[in-house]
Structure formats: C-alpha cells, structure tokens
Amino acid sequence: MEAVLPQIKPKRKWKKRALWIGAILVFLLLAVWLAGTIYLNRLLPQTEGEISLPGLTERVTVTRDASGVPHIKANNEHDLYLAQGYIQAQDRLFQMDLSRRQASGQLSEVIGDKVLNNDKFFLTLGLRRAAEASYDQYTDSGKATLDYFAEGVNLYMEQVRENGKWPIEFTLLSYEPEPWTPVDSLTIGKYMAFDLGGNWESQAFRQYLLENFPEDKAYDLFPDYPKGSPYIIGKESLDIDKSFANAVIPHEYNGSNNWVVSGSKTKSGKPLLADDPHLGLATPSVWYQMHLENPNVNVSGVIFAGVPGIILGHNETIAWGVTNTGPDVQDLYIEKRNPANAAEFSYQDKWEAAEIIKEPIKVKDGKTIDYEVMVTRHGPVISEFAGKSGKDTVLALRWTALDPSAELEAILNMNKAGNWAEFEQALLKFETPAQNFVFASSDGTIAYKANGSIPIRKKGDSLLPVPGWTDEYEWTGFIPFDELPKVVNPAEGFISTANNKVISDEYPYHISNDWAQPYRQMRIQEVLQTNNKLTAKDMQNLQMDKKNLQGKEFAPQLVQVLNGSVKKEDQQVLDILDKWDFIDSEDQAAPLVFNLWMQNIAEVLFVKQIPEETLALFQGKRQAVDELLRRALGGNEGPWMKDNGGLEKVLSESFQKTVTNIKEMQGSDPADWQWGDYHQLSFSHPLSSVSPLNYLFNKEGSIPVGGSNVTVQAAAFKSDGIVNHGGSWRFVIDIENMKQAYHLVGPGQSGNVKSKWYHDQMTSWAKGKYHVTQLEKVNGKVLTLTPAGED
C-alpha cells in the first residue's frame, strides 16, 4: 500500500483544487452577471415620479400601462409633442439614431467600412436630400410640431449626457448621438417609402432577361406578355448583373392585410376594422405604440420611432389602417453619356450637365472618403455606385419619394379627423408611399382609398428601363386625387386588401405590373363573405389564420404528378402531403414539405441560369413560379420548364432536394418532422450578429410559429427557417366602443434590454394574444413632466 499512497494523494489534491477553481469561476461568472445586471438596470429610464423639463409650459402626465404603452396627456400641442419626443427617446433612442443614420448614409461613421456600400447606396438615392427639400412643404403648424418633437428628443439626450445613462448600444459602439433635427424625422419617413419598395428592381431584372435569353424565354417571366414590343437597348450597353451587386433591396414580402366590415355583418351593429402591416420583425419593433391627448386631439395607435403623431390607429370617432398599394412609382431611365464629358448626358439632341453632389463619408477608424453623387434630370444615377455600368450609358432613377412631400402634415390632420370627408381631405398630402387606406367611423361609414402620387406616363408602362435622351417617356403628371381607386359603403358589407390587384381592367390609369400572390386576399374574403355577426375576436382569429390556399391549389396536383414515381421510402412524404388539411400549423410535417418544395422548384428553374445577385432583383419570382406551374399543369410547358427537362423532372428534382434537406435537419422519419422545428420566430437585434451579444439582445432565443408567406398570419422566413417578416403590428377595433382597441406590437415596446417590456410580446405574437389599450381610465405607472423651476 505504501507504494500506492503517494500516487493517490495528489489526485485527491487536484480534485479539490479543480473544485475550488470551478467554484471560483462560477463565483466570478455570477459576479460578472450581477454587475452587468446592476449596470444595465441603472440605464433604464425613469418611468414614474417627476422630471423637470426646460421648455415645458404646463405639466404633462405620462401613464405607462401594463404593456408599456405611454399615454401622454398635455394641455397644449407644444407640450404634447415635446413629451412625445422625450418619451420615444427614453425607450428607442438607439433605434432612432440608427434609423436616421441608415437612411442618411451615415452608418460607416459608427460601424466602420463593412457598411460602406450600404452608405453609398443611400447617399446615391438621396433620401436625406429629399427630406431636406420636403421641409419647406410643411405649414408653420407642421414645422412647429417637428420642432417640438425634436426639442423633446434633445432634452432627453441632454439629460443622458449629464448622467451618463446612454443605452448600452452606444457604449458598445463607442459613440454618442448628435442632436435631433426635424429633417431627421422626415428622413425616417422617406426611408419607410423606400422600405415599402418600388419597381425599379423588376425593370432592371426584365432588362437582364431580354439581354441574356431568347425573347420567348424572357417574356415567360414577365408579369403579362406585353402587347407591343418594348424598347430594348443593345446587349453590350448594360451589365445589370454586376451594376446592382451592392444594391439594398427591400424585403420581397413588404405588404399587409387590412379589412373593414360594416355594421350589417357584425354582432355589435357597428363596423369592425383590422390592420396588420407586414414589415421586418426585429428588436425593437419598427412600430412604437402611443396614446396622445390634448384639448384638440385624442388619438391612439402606432408611429415609427423618431416621428411625431400617430400614423395608424384610431381616435374617438374614426379608425384607419393601411396596406401597401405597390404601384409603379419608379422608372429607370437609360442615359446617354457624352464621351467627351462624363458629367453630361443627352436630352433632345443636346448635352445637359448633371448635378454633382459631394457626399463625404466618415468611416470609423478610417479616412473620410470623398464620395460624389451624380443626378440627371431624371434623378440619381443609381448604377454608378457599383461600378461602371457601360461605356456610354447609365441608369438614373425617377421616383416619387425623391420629390418634396409633406406626409407628416397628412398624419397630423388624420389624427384630428372626425369623419370620412375630413379624413379623405387629410389624405391630400399623403403622397408617398402610396397606400391602401381602409376607414371606419362611429356614424357607420366604411371606406377605402388607394392614396398617393401615382405617375401618368406619356409612353410606356414601367415594364422596362426607358430612354432618357428623349421626352417620349416622361411623366406628365399624377393620377388625379378624385380619380384614385375608392369605395364607400359597398353593398357587400366589407372591404379588404392584401396587396392584391385593386382595379379592374377598365380602370383608365396604369397602377402596377406586379401584384402580390392572391392567397391572403382570397382567404380573407372567403371568411368575410360567409360569416355574419362578426366580432372583434373573429377579426383577431382571422389575422392569425394559417390556411394555405397556395397549398390547396398546388399540393394535390404536385402529388398526383409524382405519385408512384418516387423512391419507396419517400412515398410516405407524398402521402403526408396528400392528407394535408392545408393549415400551416407548427406541429405538422406537410407545411414544411410544401413550403420548402415551392422554394426548391424556383431554385431548380432559375439558379443555374441566373446569377444570385441578379435573381435578388426578381421581385415577382413567386408569382412567376405559380404561373409557370399553372401553365405546365394545364399542359402548356413554357421554355423554363422545357429547358429544365419538363414538369415531371423539375418536380422530381426539387422534391428530392426538399426531402434530402429535411432529413438532414430533422432525421429520416417523416413522422418526426414538424414545420415549427424549422420555422422559428426570432426578433433579432441589429447588434446580435456579433457573438456573444446575441445572448444579451436575443435573450428569448427563437420559438416555433405557424403560418407562412402566403397565409393571412404572415410569417415569411429566411433560408435557415428564421421568421423575419410578418405582421409587425396587429390591430383590431370594434367601432361600438371607440374608447379601446386590441393591439400586438412584437416583440415589445421598449428597446432597453432590461426593461420588462423588451420581449414581453414575443410569445403573444406567435400565439395571437392581444392586449387592450384604453383611451380613458388608464392604469399604470405615472411619470409627471413639469416645467423647469416649478415647485
């Protein structure tokens, strides 16, 4: 034993040491966690008690209800909008600063050269220049509101600058924000016009098709086969696939659902209104919910962080919501450059000098870049930022959002409207982005209007880029306000929109070549047509509806084509689809198979022949695939199907790819597959892409969720299954009681990571659990803002 003992004692000693080291490490981690928690808690804004604010004329009360919604009550407009700016900054200051930087092309200054191309793109577009030009379009009252709001934001920043309680993101990025200005708010408004998309990408893509494929194959992917031959420039003139390699493309699914039901179809006998705008799902939400009250206005709803007023919601007598109309409000003009002077372009047989705008870009830890933007008579040259697009030709963008406009004025007037006539009058100044407004009022009126500046073209229909050296393709004006699509109190008893085609073929003006897939609108109408005595709860259920009508149309036909021809072990997968109830439930396998199969069909058809960066310009890809399938299933295989071996081969190849992908993710037994194991909701913070910050900012992780990109419960997803796009705000109101409404703002109200309102609505978003927001008798924490010097 004596020979053994010397070997045993050291082991026991090292075990004790290991235990001590482990305990010390655990203690240190707990200490770091505790210190971090204390530090982050210290950064939370004051939400109760009193705060003295210079500039206030009278006391303002701010009551935050159980969902973190601030109810601001003031005695005058100055104090109301000053307080709105102050409170928004309390909860969303970093988001506000990031938003204005993104839209202004100023991210490189705080992030570095990795976002340089992003800045170049937005500087080229000129959203901030358009915002600056728009300021003079506002009345003195509108300008005053912008000033009051900016004053409130700056008061909060001054306080934080003194006490050092900057949101943690500023500390991590090592900078402090500049003072807020009215133009910052207008720039964020212009960015939302960008985010709601346009049609230049589709024009560029169709131009690429005509330059690189036979005519019949190119036209096979056009929204409609053109009646006449569109203008085509030479193949050597433009290099579309390279010119737009660094373009920032808005999300393909930017759209929305809204509907309004008359009292003849409701249990209460009063109208019901529902709205859920589809935008990116992130932390914090693009929307900030508020209630604003003074003697002239009592309005509740949501606004973009950084902007005053309420853009969507209700007051004491009316309610309204929007979806994206998606009109063709952009044109690409092909400009002929002067070979002897790169800053001149041909127009009507004369050389015209373009405007050269210097836009220096400050780069964190780098040198300032001397960047220049070139603007022709038609707009900024957007192909230049990615390199030369051709020897003598470039593309310039004409876009309504780059014109001076006064949308905020419209919003402030909408907030005070008391009936349809006043609301429609307010819409006169809401020019961009063009939106489908639905409306309901306490007098029983329901209405709809597709509102905004929609151009009338002298020639052409916005399918392709057009010559810029002649006046043949100029805009001659806009669809007259009184002739925009409108419906008031229809006999059907309801109005609904879901980015679908909103006009008949007899409508005298061109609005768009591309409309969303019709499935959401079909499902909404299916429910509203067949039901009476509807309630607010029915409207919530419809917003959460997961019925997949695309699956109902295609799944049985796809199964029929492949039945009996697949491997024996894969026949079970087809059998699952064959028995599907067409509900995109998170606990079913069929939605997983169908949704990935549809994606893979597009990949088999296009990926081998179209470069990835060019395919990103194809905004109507899913609509096109639907149409290619319809034709092929009807016995009319087009060139894309034929060139890939025919319908059965395309379906077989894409099906096998789908099954292989799912087996790699979820195992070989289809009985174990679930849509929700792949399709997961995650409201990601912009800094969470840097590990380990994801553990701080995305602390709830991801959760299974149903729906898809074609269901009323919109839940579009990335290639890894993460749901990043959908109903960013859900809203339902029964006009019988205008004092309250039902809301969902995922993931929560606050952008402060330690706030209890940071991710408290994330599970609610997935499950459809709404909160009620009141216009009166509000309970919650009360913060009183007092004029400086008041006892």
- Pairing relation of β-strands 722-727 and 680-681? parallel
SS3 string of 532-583? Answer: CCECHHHHHHHHCCCECHHHHHHHHHHHHHHCCCCCHHHHHHHHHHHCCCCE
Q: What angle do CA 189, 784, 76 make, to 5 degrees?
A: 55
Q: DSSP assignment of 291-319, as one string?
A: EEEETTEEEEEEEETT--S-SEEE-SSEE
Cβ distance 706 to 696 under 8 Å?
no
Residue listed under structure tokens 């014109």: 403
CA distances, 348 to each of 305, 378, 467, 469, 472 (Å): 45, 14, 11, 6, 10
DSSP secondary structure code for residue 753 in this structure = T
Q: What angle do CA 160, 164, 169 make, to 5 degrees?
A: 85
Query: What are the helix (H) ranges across 64-139?
Result: 77-104, 108-111, 116-125, 127-134
Distance between CA atoms of residues 70 and 82, nearest Å: 14
Distance between CA atoms of residues 248 and 515, nearest Å: 21
Residue 86, exposed/middle/buried by CB under 10 A (0-12, 13-18, 19+)?
buried
CA distances, 14 to each of 1, 20, 750 (Å): 21, 10, 48
Q: What angle do CA 231, 234, 239 make, to 5 degrees?
A: 110
Residue listed under structure tokens 């509907």: 259
Active site residue 764: no
Query: Per residue in 737-762, is it b (16+ CB within 10 Å) or e — as a string?
Result: ebebbbbbbbbbbbbbbbbebbbbbb
Residue listed under structure tokens 């029983």: 444
Distance between CA atoms of residues 377 and 152, nearest Å: 39
Residue 403 annotated as binding? Answer: no
What would the two tokens of residue 137 be? 């379009």
Query: Per residue in 118-155, is it b (16+ CB within 10 Å) or e — as a string?
Result: bbbbbbbbbbbbbbbbbbebbeeebbebbbbbbbbbbb
Q: In this structure, how many other beta carbons lie within 10 angstroms of the beta carbon of residue 421?
A: 10
Distance between CA atoms of residues 87 and 9, nearest Å: 65
Q: What is the largest CA-CA distance in the chain?
A: 107
Q: In this structure, how many other beta carbons lie within 10 angstroms of the beta carbon of residue 567?
A: 9
CA quadruple 81, 83, 88, 94: dihedral sign: positive
Distance between CA atoms of residues 210 and 225, nearest Å: 13
Residue 328 annotated as binding? Answer: yes
Rg (CA), the chain: 28
Hey, what amino acid is at 168?
A: I
Q: In this structure, how many other beta carbons lie within 10 angstroms of the beta carbon of residue 774?
A: 16
Query: What are the helix (H) ranges across 365-503?
Result: 407-416, 420-426
Which of the following is catalytic: 202, 256, 682, 750? 256
Residue 103 three-state SS:
helix
SS3 string of 181-204? Answer: CHHHHHHHHHHHHHHCCCCHHHHH
Cβ distance 610 to 627 under 8 Å?
no
Binding residues for Ca(2+): 328, 331
Q: Which residues are catalytic?
A: 256
Binding residues: 328, 331
